[in-house]
């Protein structure tokens, strides 16, 4: 049994960035009608086939859904994987390698438990994650009593953790590595070579690479590579890799709560056993809708076009202000506010000065040893509104900050 290292830090681990932001702005009035860029809630157009499919399957709300999902859903997901990553066509077994999730967050959270259990001899299990990071990784690690290891992901390293810098002894006691590409909050995309190195580390040291790829369909120029295709390409197998996907970002359907995990068959079997007693099923009508949503790309193209347009507006209005970094994937701007007193000060200035709400990067990160916070200088701005609102918000930022 691992020591319950994390539980004493649970409150810190679950300090919501949005609660902290509300606290920061509590005594300040917005300078103008608010525009909220703090929340990455996609607002793409809903596909029109959702309603009729739900209606046809309403009666299925009267039954418990199978935790492993409908065969049609697993097959639909496998087909999507094969279309998105042609080298994986026909390679993924829908029976043994795919599990539906009630949104990817619950899967990212609960997968940590079987990942720890499969390396039960390790006395101080460690979980690697980028810093800044999606908060569910830290909450899962703390709740499972493992030790979180925050790998700084700053501009000098392309906003991804430096894989060469990870200590060998640490790798031996690592049970899982959460890797987010395209990354939230910076929008960095891991290259094939980077993913190959991450897969190789996972296989060599026998930990799980949890590839969080929920932003993979929101890209600027070309589709980002995926950890599963790289694993098959490099090693001919999915060993030690679990790819997490979601309809929340790809399809602009965060309220549907539908995603999946696919990869290492031995891990999927263990995860399925755990899920049977511990995790939420995807309601049957939602499973039926999800089959159709994974099969359709037209609405995904429309969403991607909206986010691209917003990034063009950012290019036009921001130029090289606030650092010159632009995301290759995701819909977030990661703006350098070091000239404006850092992320928290800038978030306050913008709210009071022009009613634009952005998220201080510090709230998505932890201090590294030595006290430096790798998100401290930045704010995250989610460009998920229509083009006119985006233009208005970015114009206000430039006028307010200069």
The residue with tokens 């395209």 is: 182
Among 80, 85, 134, 271, binds ligand PLP (CB under 6 A): 134
Take residue 364 and report the two structure tokens written for it. 């998505």
Among 17, 47, 69, 103, binds ligand PLP (CB under 6 A): 103
351 binds ligand PLP (CB under 6 A): no
CA atoms within 13 A on the CB side of 386: 3
Q: Hey, is 199 helix, strand or coil?
A: helix
Judge contact between 103 and 267, C-beta under 8 A. Answer: no
Take residue 195 and report the two structure tokens written for it. 């993913």
Q: How far is the CB of 103 from ligand PLP (least distance, A)?
A: 3
Binding positions for ligand PLP, 21-60, rule CB under 6 A: 40
141 binds ligand PLP (CB under 6 A): no
Query: Please, which residues have CB within 8 angstroms of residue 85's CB and are 6 or more apart in sequence?
Result: 226, 228, 229
By CB under 6 A, how many residues form the interface with ligand PLP? 14
How far is 121 from 116, CA to CA, in rounded Å? 9
Q: Identify the DSSP state of 385.
A: S
The residue with tokens 């980028």 is: 130
- Scanning 54-62, 120-128, 221-229, 246-254 for contacts with ligand PLP by CB under 6 A, the matching segment is 246-254
How far is 243 from 19, CA to CA, in rounded Å? 29
Take residue 265 and report the two structure tokens written for it. 């068959």
Q: How far is the CB of 167 from ligand PLP (least distance, A)?
A: 25
Among 6, 94, 259, 327, binds ligand PLP (CB under 6 A): 259
Q: Identify the DSSP state of 273.
A: H
Q: How far is the CB of 321 from ligand PLP (least distance, A)?
A: 25
**SS3 string of 137-167?**
HHHHHHHCCCEEEEEECCHHHCCCCCHHHCC
| Largest CA-CA distance found in the chain, in angstroms, rounded | 58
104 binds ligand PLP (CB under 6 A): yes
What does the per-residue mask of binding to ligand PLP show for 353-392, with x meaning CB under 6 A? ----------------------------------------
Among 99, 159, 187, 212, binds ligand PLP (CB under 6 A): 212
Binding positions for ligand PLP, 326-345, rule CB under 6 A: none
Q: How far is the CB of 137 from ligand PLP (least distance, A)?
A: 9
What does the per-residue mask of binding to ligand PLP show for 163-202, with x meaning CB under 6 A? -----------------x---x------------------
The residue with tokens 């390396």 is: 119
Could you give the C-alpha distances from 85 to 166, 230, 349, in angstroms and in order? 29, 10, 44
How far is 70 from 317, CA to CA, in rounded Å? 47
Among 141, 216, 246, 281, binds ligand PLP (CB under 6 A): 246
Q: How far is the CB of 206 from ligand PLP (least distance, A)?
A: 24
What does the per-residue mask of binding to ligand PLP show for 274-313, with x meaning CB under 6 A? ----------------------------------------
Note the Cα 340 to chain centre separation in Å.
28
Q: How far is the CB of 180 from ligand PLP (least distance, A)?
A: 5
Footprint on this chain of ligand PLP (rule: CB under 6 A): 40, 103-105, 108, 134, 180, 184, 212, 214, 246, 248, 254, 259
């Amino acid at each position: 049994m691992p020591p319950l290292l994390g539980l004493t830090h649970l409150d810190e681990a679950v300090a919501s960035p949005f609660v902290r932001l509300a606290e920061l702005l509590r005594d300040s009035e917005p300078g103008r009608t608010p525009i909220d860029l703090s929340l990455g809630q996609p607002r793409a157009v809903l596909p029109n086939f959702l309603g009729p499919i739900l209606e046809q399957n309403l009666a299925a709300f009267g039954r418990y859904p199978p935790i492993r999902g409908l065969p049609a859903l697993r097959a639909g997901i496998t087909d999507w994987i094969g279309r998105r990553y042609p080298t994986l066509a026909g390679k993924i077994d829908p029976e043994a390698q795919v599990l539906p999730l009630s949104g990817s967050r619950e899967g990212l959270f609960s997968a940590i438990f079987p990942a720890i259990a499969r390396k039960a001899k390790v006395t101080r299990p460690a979980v690697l994650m980028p810093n800044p990071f999606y908060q569910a990784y830290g909450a899962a690690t703390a709740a499972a009593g493992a030790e979180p290891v925050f790998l700084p992901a700053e501009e000098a390293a392309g906003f991804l953790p430096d894989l060469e810098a990870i200590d060998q002894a640490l790798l031996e006691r690592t049970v899982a590595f959460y890797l987010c590409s395209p990354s939230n909050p910076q929008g960095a995309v891991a290259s094939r070579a980077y993913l190959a190195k991450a897969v190789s580390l996972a296989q060599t040291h026998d930990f799980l690479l949890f590839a969080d790829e929920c932003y993979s369909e929101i890209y600027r120029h070309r589709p980002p590579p995926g950890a599963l295709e790289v694993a098959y390409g490099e090693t001919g197998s999915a060993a030690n890799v679990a790819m997490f996907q979601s309809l929340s970002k790809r399809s602009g359907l965060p309220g549907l709560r539908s995603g999946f995990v696919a990869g290492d068959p031995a891990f999927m079997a263990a995860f399925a056993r755990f899920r049977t007693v511990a995790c939420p099923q995807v309601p049957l009508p939602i499973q039926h809708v999800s089959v159709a949503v994974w099969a359709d790309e037209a609405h995904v193209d429309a969403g991607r076009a909206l986010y691209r347009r917003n990034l063009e507006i950012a290019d036009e209005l921001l130029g090289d202000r606030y650092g010159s970094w632009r995301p290759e994937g995701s819909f977030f701007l990661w703006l350098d506010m070091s000239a404006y007193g850092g992320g928290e000060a800038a978030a306050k200035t913008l709210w009071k000065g022009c009613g634009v709400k952005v998220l201080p990067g510090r709230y998505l990160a932890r201090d590294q040893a030595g006290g430096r916070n790798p998100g401290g200088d930045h704010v995250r701005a989610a460009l998920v509104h229509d083009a006119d609102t985006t233009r208005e918000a970015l114009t206000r930022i430039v006028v307010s900050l200069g």
